[in-house]
Amino acid sequence: MVKNFNAWPDEWPRSLNYPEQPVFAFLDQTAERVPDRLALIFGGMELTFGELKNLSDRFAAALASMGIQKGNKVAIHLPNCPQFAIAYYGALKTGAVFTPLSPLLAPKEIVYQLNDSQAKMLISLDLVYPGIVEIIPDTGVEHVITTSIADCYNSVILPLKPLEKIPVPDTIDMADLLKSNEPEAPNVEIDVFNDLAHLAYTGGTTGLSKGVMLTHHNVVVNTCQYAHWFSGAQLEIQEGLPTPVFPPGVDPVKDRPSATDRETALVVVPWFHAMGTVGYLNNMVYSGITMVVFPRFDPQEYLTGIQKYKATVLGGAPQLFIPLVNLPGFEDCDLSEVKIVSSGAAPLALPVLDKMLNAFSGTVCEAYGMTECTMGATANPPDRKDIRQGSVGVPVYDTECKVVDLLTGEDLPPGEKGEICIKGPQVMQGYWNKPEETDLVLKDGWLYSGDIGNMDDDGYFYITDRKKDMIIYKGYNVYPRELEEVLFTHPDVVQCAVVGRLKMEVGEEPVAFVQLMAGAKTDAEQLMGFTNSQVAAYKKIREIRFLDTIPVSGAGKVLKRELRELL
β-pair type (313-316, 340-343): parallel
Least Cα distance to 34 among 245, 280, 234, 287 occurs for: 287
Q: What is the dihedral sign for C-alpha 130, 134, 139, 141?
A: positive
**Is 2 part of a structural domain of the chain?**
no
Question: What is the share, in percent, of the chain residues with pLDDT greater than 70?
Answer: 98
Q: Which residues pair with 404 in a beta bridge?
A: 411, 419
pLDDT score at 386: 93
Least Cα distance to 68 among 136, 141, 134 occurs for: 141
Residues 129 and 267 in one domain: yes
β-pair type (73-77, 172-173): unpaired
Residue ending a domain, among 401, 430, 451, is 401
Tell me: the pLDDT tens digits for 467-482? 767 788 988 878 787 8
Residues 142 and 198 in one domain: yes
**Is 17 part of a structural domain of the chain?**
no
Q: Which residues fall within 8 angstroms of residue 146, CB to CB, at 6 or more apart?
A: 123, 124, 125, 126, 129, 168, 171, 172, 173, 174
Q: Is the pLDDT of residue 205 over 60?
A: no
Q: Are 278 and 376 in contact (CB under 8 A)?
A: yes
**Is 7 part of a structural domain of the chain?**
no
Q: Which residues fall within 8 angstroms of residue 238, CB to CB, at 6 or more apart?
A: none
Triad 151, 154, 157: Cα angle to 5°: 120
Residues 90 and 181 in one domain: yes
Residue ending a domain, among 380, 401, 422, is 401
Triad 371, 144, 270: Cα angle to 5°: 30
Residues 175 and 233 in one domain: yes
Cβ atoms < 10 Å from Cβ of 192: 20
Triad 315, 316, 317: Cα angle to 5°: 145
Amino acid at 137: P
Tell me: the pLDDT tens digits for 332-377? 888 888 999 998 877 777 777 888 888 888 899 999 999 999 999 9
β-pair type (119-125, 38-42): unpaired
Residues 165 and 300 in one domain: yes
Q: Which residues pair with 499 in a beta bridge?
A: 511
Average pLDDT, the chain: 92
**Is 441 part of a structural domain of the chain?**
yes
Spacing of C-alpha 158 from chain mean position: 31
Q: Which residues fall within 8 angstroms of residue 214, CB to CB, at 6 or more apart?
A: 196, 197, 198, 199, 200, 374, 428, 429
Residue ending a domain, among 379, 401, 423, is 401
Q: Is the pLDDT of residue 185 over 80?
A: yes
For residue 429, count CB atoms less than 10 angstroms from its CB and return exposed for 0-12, middle for 13-18, buried for 19 or more: middle
pLDDT score at 554: 45
> What's the predicted TM-score (pTM) here?
0.87
Residues 160 and 281 in one domain: yes
β-pair type (290-293, 430-431): unpaired
Tell me: the pLDDT tens digits for 24-56? 999 999 999 999 999 999 987 999 999 999 999
**Is 9 part of a structural domain of the chain?**
no
Residues 408 and 396 in one domain: no
Domain count, the chain: 3
Least Cα distance to 120 among 181, 196, 67 occurs for: 67
Triad 220, 75, 295: Cα angle to 5°: 80
**Is 10 part of a structural domain of the chain?**
no
Q: Are 53 and 299 in contact (CB under 8 A)?
A: no
Q: Which residues fall within 8 angstroms of residue 375, CB to CB, at 6 or more apart?
A: 222, 226, 274, 275, 277, 278, 279, 369, 426
CATH number at residue 430: 2.30.38.10
Q: Helix or strand or coil: residue 221?
A: helix
Residues 457 and 487 in one domain: no
Question: What is the share, in percent, of the chain residues with pLDDT greater than 90?
Answer: 72
Q: Are 119 and 144 in contact (CB under 8 A)?
A: no
pLDDT score at 555: 42
**Is 18 part of a structural domain of the chain?**
no
Instruction: Tell me which residue range forms the domain holding 44.
Output: 25-401
β-pair type (172-173, 143-147): parallel
Residues 380 and 410 in one domain: no
Residues 397 and 407 in one domain: no
Tell me: the pLDDT tens digits for 122-156? 999 999 999 999 999 999 999 999 999 999 987 77
- HSE value, Cβ hemisphere, 13 Å, CA-based, for 476: 19
Mean pLDDT of 57-86: 98
Q: Is the pLDDT of residue 158 over 80?
A: no
Residues 483 and 493 in one domain: yes
CATH number at residue 494: 3.30.300.30
CATH number at residue 296: 3.40.50.12780
**Is 356 part of a structural domain of the chain?**
yes
Please give the DSSP secondary-structure letter assigned to residue 207: S
Mean pLDDT of 545-561: 75
Q: Cα(first)–Cα(last) distance of the chain, in Å? A: 41
Q: Which helix (H) or strand (E) holds 285?
A: helix 283-287
Length of the chain in terms of residues written: 567
Residues 412 and 395 in one domain: no
Q: Where are the alpha helices (DSSP H) in 128-267?
A: 174-180, 216-231
Residue 107: pLDDT band (50, 70, 90) is very high
Q: Is the pLDDT of residue 314 over 80?
A: yes
In whole angstroms, what is the distance from residue 333 CA to residue 305 CA? 11
